[in-house]
Amino acid sequence: MSHFGSCGRICNLVIPKDPITNVVDSAEEKALAFDGSEMGKWNVTVKVLPHEDLEFTTDQLAFMSIAHFKKTRSQGISVKGYNTSLPSNYGKSALKKKNNIQEMRKDHMLTLLLGVSISALLILTFFIFFFFFRRKQSSTEPDQYDVESLDHKVHNKHGSSSETEELVTFQGGEDLTICDILDAPGEVIGKSMYGTLYKASLQRSGNVRVLRFLRPVCTVRCDAKEYSDVIETLGFVRHENLVPLLGFYGGNRGEKLMVHPFYVSGNLSDFIKSGGEESIKWSNILSITIGISKALDHLHTGTQKPIVHGNLKSKNVLLNSSFEPRVSDYGLHLLLNQTAGQEILDVSAAEGYKAPELVKMKEVSKESDVYSLGVIMLELVSSKEAINKGDDHKLYRPEILTSNGCEDLSEEGLLKYFQLAMSCSSPSPSLRPNTKQVLRKLQDI
């Protein structure tokens, strides 16, 4: 509350708790105020006469005693009040408190700025590390993709686009396109360590095909020209008892796809295990054996460069609706690296088809193919797996002699067939007949 008189300005002040300065902005007068409310209700009446050079700050006033105010009366200041004692350390405490608050604010601000700076630095470091790590990983470790997830950037032998993908087609697969292969809905019909088999329906033509997907990590690393030569060698093979290669797709991430026809009657292994009437017909047994032997003979002698099958077994012999055999997977080991090839050999040994002299896949030969043929012949007449864990030691099924279509078969003829099978599966490679000899003996039965 303030009151002004004609002789000057009289300020009766009730001051807040903390010291403040209330400066009257006048050329002739200045009013000073300080807090006395917490010091024994000490009130001050200050008469300020016009004086241009007189000016007190709150801190200066806080250090003054009442006696000092009286001493300055002659300079135009009159003071009267109650409880004329003012603590001598009041001004210092207030100033110290104010300085402490300012220092605390500065400390808090510095702490906040430091925390924000460190956080920003850590985030920036993380993103830089993540960026370079991902970049390095993408350049050194190619991703593995399944058939359905491949991009459709094509480089077709008949049409053309990118340098990274290629589709080579052979007889019977001229109408294939990369989009046909990659967009075809597929059903998994077989899996192995080195790849997956899909039964796929090509949407454009409606044809059903078998797609063999080879995992990039299992394929052989060699010169592109050498790899291309192997593909062409396999693609140009044509025989009525061999499954033809219709097309070969090479993707931009190392994936490989082989396209084959689909055969509705499944494979020979399932046919033998079924134990059905057709599986014990002598006419079927003989025609299947002759067909497999012809297929091997064509691979060994009928091509410009002999091809060793390398993985002949009943699961790799497909049947059409007339139970005529179609040998598949021939030369597949030529496309696989050493590790994958060894896996094939180990599986073949576990199933009983591996010739005893074989230690490594690169040692496969015509003689080892004949050994596998002899094992399949024994399966056909005994209806037992190559590795028989049962107690049945019969050499052949007696039902064969009484089945339909065996009018020209005698027990002697069946024994000749069995002896030929044993000769093919001889432990000594030199004692095994070649494919042409096998065919001649089969015709004599």
Give residue 193's pLDDT. 84
Give residue 437's pLDDT. 97
- Calpha distance 245→16 (Å, rounded): 100
Give residue 264's pLDDT. 86
User: CA 123 → CA 109, 111, 126, 129, 363, distances in Å?
Assistant: 21, 18, 5, 10, 57
Give residue 368's pLDDT. 96
Give residue 291's pLDDT. 97
**Which among 292, 295, 299 has a CA at the least distance from the CA of 366?**
299
Domain spanning 147-261, CATH architecture: 2-Layer Sandwich (3.30)
Domain spanning 268-444, CATH architecture: Orthogonal Bundle (1.10)
CB 204 within 8 A of CB 180: yes
How far is CA 381 from its chain centroid?
47
Give residue 392's pLDDT. 57
Give residue 394's pLDDT. 67
| Tens-binned pLDDT, residue by residue, of the chain (445 aa) | 433 333 433 334 333 434 444 444 443 333 444 443 333 333 444 444 444 444 444 444 444 444 444 444 444 444 444 344 445 554 555 556 556 666 777 777 778 777 778 888 888 887 776 666 555 444 433 333 344 343 333 333 333 334 478 899 999 998 898 888 888 888 898 888 888 999 998 888 888 999 999 988 888 776 677 888 999 999 999 999 999 999 999 888 888 999 999 998 899 999 998 888 888 888 899 999 999 999 999 999 999 899 999 999 999 999 998 999 999 999 999 998 888 888 899 999 999 999 999 988 888 999 999 999 999 999 999 887 777 655 555 677 778 877 766 666 778 888 899 999 999 999 999 999 999 999 999 998 8
Give residue 34's pLDDT. 40
Give residue 318's pLDDT. 95
The dihedrals phi and psi of 82, each to the nearest 5 degrees, come to -120, 150
